[in-house]
């Protein structure tokens, strides 16, 4: 009898062991965590200070007897977000508390980085014409600025600190300002 009792536990073990292994492998499967798609962070447009012409760290002395116009160049404009469009507006003698007129609104649909052929946003300025007019007669020092944004400009609130330069939440802008002095009495 003893000899016949042995085969039963071996037979039971032969059936039970694979069942336990199968059950254990099914019950212990841990799914891999689902990774969220990374959200691209919006970064500001940029310019290269050394490429700005004339330099913005000095007063530009313009002589109407020597030149008729002044070429303002931002140098290469870039944006780390390759799909962003570049929007810009030029202002002459911008005063947030006055009538901040836009001298050049730029294209309303903006430009892709590829469409900025030279990478630069340029403005030809004729100081005797563009900086003339009774509103500017008393100014000894004139300012010309370009505001560059990575989203379209939006309508201003009544309490906007920078009228005509507002961008939507999450957008970035950068600004270049030139200071220009010239003797209006030398204009033709």
Please give the pLDDT value at position 13.
Answer: 55
Asked if residue 182 belongs to a domain, the reply is yes
Distance, in Å, from the CA atom of 110 to the CA atom of 89, rounded to the nearest integer, reads 10
Please give the pLDDT value at position 25.
Answer: 52
* Whether the Cβ atoms of residue 45 and residue 149 lie closer than 8 Å to each other: yes
* Whether the Cβ atoms of residue 145 and residue 176 lie closer than 8 Å to each other: yes
- Residue 21 pLDDT > 80: no
Better-predicted residue by pLDDT, 138 or 122: 122
Burial (CB < 10 A; 0-12, 13-18, 19+), residue 166, is middle
* Whether the Cβ atoms of residue 148 and residue 86 lie closer than 8 Å to each other: yes
Asked if residue 12 belongs to a domain, the reply is no
DSSP-derived 3-state class of residue 144: strand
Asked if residue 131 belongs to a domain, the reply is yes
The CATH number of the domain where 122 resides is what? 2.60.40
Burial (CB < 10 A; 0-12, 13-18, 19+), residue 94, is buried
Asked if residue 36 belongs to a domain, the reply is no
Asked if residue 22 belongs to a domain, the reply is no
Distance, in Å, from the CA atom of 180 to the CA atom of 143, rounded to the nearest integer, reads 6
List pLDDT tens digits, range 26-55.
556 677 777 777 778 999 999 999 999 999
Asked if residue 2 belongs to a domain, the reply is no
Asked if residue 37 belongs to a domain, the reply is no
* Whether the Cβ atoms of residue 127 and residue 141 lie closer than 8 Å to each other: no
Please give the pLDDT value at position 12.
Answer: 52
Closest listed residue to residue 145, CA positions, set 160, 118, 164, 161: 164
Q: Which domain holds residue 145?
A: 46-186
Please give the pLDDT value at position 10.
Answer: 58
Say how many domains are in the chain: 1
Closest listed residue to residue 54, CA positions, set 144, 118, 164, 169: 144
Asked if residue 144 belongs to a domain, the reply is yes
């Amino acid at each position: 009898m003893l000899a016949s009792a042995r085969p039963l536990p071996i037979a039971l073990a032969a059936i039970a062991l694979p069942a336990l292994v199968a059950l254990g492998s099914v019950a212990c499967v841990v799914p891999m965590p689902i990774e969220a798609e990374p959200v691209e962070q919006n970064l500001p447009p940029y310019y290269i200070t050394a490429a700005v012409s004339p330099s913005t760290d000095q007063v530009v002395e313009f002589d109407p007897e020597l030149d008729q116009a002044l070429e303002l160049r931002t140098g290469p404009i870039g944006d780390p977000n390759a799909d962003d469009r570049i929007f810009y507006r030029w202002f002459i003698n911008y005063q947030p508390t006055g009538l901040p007129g836009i001298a050049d609104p730029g294209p309303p649909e903006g430009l892709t980085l590829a469409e900025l052929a030279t990478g630069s946003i340029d403005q030809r300025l004729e100081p005797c014409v563009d900086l003339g007019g009774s509103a500017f007669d008393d100014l000894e020092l004139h300012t010309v600025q370009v505001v560059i944004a990575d989203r379209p400009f939006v309508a201003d609130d009544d309490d906007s600190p920078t009228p005509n330069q507002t961008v939507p939440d999450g957008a970035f802008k950068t600004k270049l300002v030139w200071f220009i002095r010239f003797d209006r009495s030398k204009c033709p």
